[in-house]
Structure 1
């Protein structure tokens, strides 16, 4: 089904997009480039194009996305793929064009946030419908031995006809008979499963397609609360906490049904060997409530998308020229792909938490502690853990009354 792995794409083999597609407007920003709305010069149809720079982007991620889209986009819940194009441009730089189905209803994250901003919550039946469709898309991937590895609300897009599509397969991975598990730590921090995070520090750790189930559980919370758990933290600190914290829940579980809470708890079982797979979750009572109600729920979803777009147009008009304050928040929700020896953050500002390091291993912790010790910074946080290094000399960092009190407490 897939082209032979290990052979890089020959970009020159792809057609030039200039004769086929015309860019109309910018519609978004992906992980590795902008996304535009384009018009077909052949039949007048519209599509979306993700424009990538093959010089600076990660070639293997482009290849992974191309292979998966080419092989698996024939499903109602996976974005349709119209082809790859290569535009040579000596002046501005060469470009790869991934032309995809236009999902102009926005993401499910946008919809949930917009409703909460208006003081409304998304109805549970609509959430169940969205999750059901996402599960169907994931089942299609998993049956074809592919893990998405970046399931989140921004990667579940809506069409104006109420379609629900999985997108962004740049970090997806194929499983083979000889490699039924993976061991690469990749994804967007707040949605990453504990077993995926563990692969960064433990070389013998592996995971399987059930990491997508964890991410979908986090997405379910996102649809209810507007943000994933720990979103107020630095992404690297969130990575530190996810494996150590108990499974997250909705902020106010009592406001939601027992079935919804149970669905989330099933998705967020920390031991992935005990976590249900996608097929199991399709039989969950929360998901099965959508059966025989699909047309009605799809109609309700279309109405919500319509309303959201109307409000969006009004807000764009009223905020014309103002800075987009949501940009910082969105930037913190970008994915990471950690690799040994890659260019990652290895230094911290004074007072920072070691959990903010992009590589948190024995060498990086030792180097940081040694550096701070040399600057008489004897206290260092790693998440919720405080490390104290004995300075072996007097330091004027405590008032005399603090020292006396400490001796009194020790004497007791």
Structure 2
């Protein structure tokens, strides 16, 4: 059995990356990034990918808080001194190859369901590389879940699923696979927006339908074919792997804890291997979830990736397609606001 390297990183972590395959002959390289004049946090997204710019300088920003730390570097909340616009600044160490790969992938995207990278800022003195990202004010779904009792209400989950799937549909249509979908890598705003983030190990496929052989990722959210490659011919469908990870994420948010192990069970490699590859999908009782949600989760977590639902299938699933958008978005906004209020209350009492 191939070894799998597990990452245990905090919210908005900086993960190791895979190299982005070279572009096809004749394809234009990434242009230089040009910043949006007088940027604002709520500015509308461009309809096409924007080139990343180095015209901003690190000296133009004040660090306000640390949002997350990982093996590769640190993410800060920063404010642009001239415009007072707020951003997330992801500073990656010079010896971490994720910086160039992640920036390259983000330069290919311009979707309201994918976190936006405004600029890449080289730090000449240290050799570190910093990416200036949009600040999503609610934080990650993992941090939101940790600040609230119990799991997410079903209406909010439907909105999370719909928008995360829209992000994956956008990415997969451009042959970009994320490979590390989990609550810590999906962000939510107080306005009810959901965005896929952290492309440190994402991959750009050279052709549609290409199989993957890389098994770097977070083991708890890996699909069976990624966890046990020898049993699946040594390769896997990366789009189906993203679907499995989303299914585990939705189930975790519903249950309020990691769902594939018993409550309190230590998440060792062996325990995860047994649960992911051989264990039964946790039963979601009628009291905990509607038949639509149960069916949605089951469609995501089919152990045979060839029978697993596609992103297009899931977007058409009744749990997503028949949701009341206004109700579900309102439920998500309330959830994010309540989590933020809980954080503010804790800060006042410390």
Q: TM-score, normalised by structure 2?
A: 0.78
The 1:28/1:253 distance shift into structure 2, 3 A limit, reads farther
C-alpha spacing 1:310/1:216, structure 2 compared with 1 (3 Å): same
Q: Does 1:205 align with 2:205?
A: no
On the 8 A contact 1:189/1:238 being kept in 2, the answer is no
What's 1:28 paired with?
68
Shift of 1:123: 1.8
RMSD: 2.6
Say whether 1:64 aligns with 2:88.
no
- Does structure 2 conserve the Cα–Cα contact (< 8 Å) formed by 1:19 and 1:41? no
Q: Deviations over 1:273-306 (max 9, x none)?
A: 111110011011111122xx32343233222222
Distance 1:244 1:202, change over 3 A: closer
**Equivalent residue, structure 2, for 1:216:** 246
1:101 aligned onto 2:134 = yes
In 1, distance between residues paired with 2:288 and 2:63? 45
Q: Say whether residues 1:271 and 2:304 are aligned partners.
A: yes
Q: Deviations over 1:13-51 (max 9, x none)?
A: 955723432222212224522211111134221100111
Structure 2 counterpart of 1:237: 270
Aligned 1:230-309 pairs, distance under 5 A: 230=261, 232-250=265-283, 252=285, 254-290=287-323, 293-309=324-340
Deviation, 1:252, is: 4.5
- Distance, in Å, in 2 between the alignment partners of 1:178 and 1:311 is 44
Looking at structure 2, the residues matched to 76 and 250 of structure 1 have their Cα atoms a distance apart, in angstroms, of 33
- The equivalences for 1:400-411 within 5 A come to none
Residues 2-401 of structure 1 mapped to structure 2, 5 A cutoff: 4=22, 14=54, 17-30=57-70, 32-55=72-95, 57=96, 59=97, 61-72=98-109, 74-89=110-125, 93-116=126-149, 120-177=150-207, 180-199=210-229, 204-228=234-258, 229-230=260-261, 232-250=265-283, 252=285, 254-290=287-323, 293-318=324-349, 320=350
Q: Distance in 1 between matches of 2:55 and 2:229?
A: 39
State the 1:226 CA deviation. 1.7
Structure showing the higher helix proportion among its residues: 1
Give CA deviations for 1:231-260 in whole Å, capped at 9, x if unaligned: 733341244214532342256464211111
Do the aligned partners of residues 270 and 3 (structure 1) sit closer, same or farther apart at CA in structure 2, a change above 3 Å counting? closer
- Residues 213 and 235 in structure 2, CA contact (< 8 A), matched pair in contact too: yes
CA contact (8 A) 1:34 1:51 kept: yes
The range that moved more, 74-83 or 121-130, is: 121-130
Would the aligned equivalents of 1:194 and 1:242 in 2 still touch at CA under 8 Å? Answer: no
CA displacement, residues 112-150 of structure 1 (integer Å, 9 cap, x when unaligned): 33332xxx5422111011111000000001001111101
Higher mean displacement: 42-51 or 132-141: 42-51
Q: Following the alignment from structure 2 to structure 1, what is the Cα–Cα distance between the partners of residues 69 and 295?
A: 34
Q: Which has the higher contact order (CA 8 A, sep 6+)?
A: 2
2:243/2:311 contact within 8 Å kept: yes
Larger Cα-atom Rg? 1
Displacement after TM superposition at 1:5 (Å): 5.4
Q: CA 1:300–1:106 in 2, change beyond 3 Å: closer, same or farther?
A: same
- Could you tell me how far apart the structure 1 residues matched to 2:177 and 2:208 are? 15
**Distance 1:126-1:17 versus aligned 2 partners, 3 A rule:** same
- Figure out how many residues of one structure are paired with residues of the other and give that number: 302
Distance 1:282 1:160 in 2: 23
8 Å CA contact 2:56, 2:119 repeated in 1: no
224-233 vs 274-283, greater mean Cα deviation: 224-233
Kept after mapping to 2: 8 A contact 1:132/1:282? yes
Q: TM-score normalized by structure 1?
A: 0.67
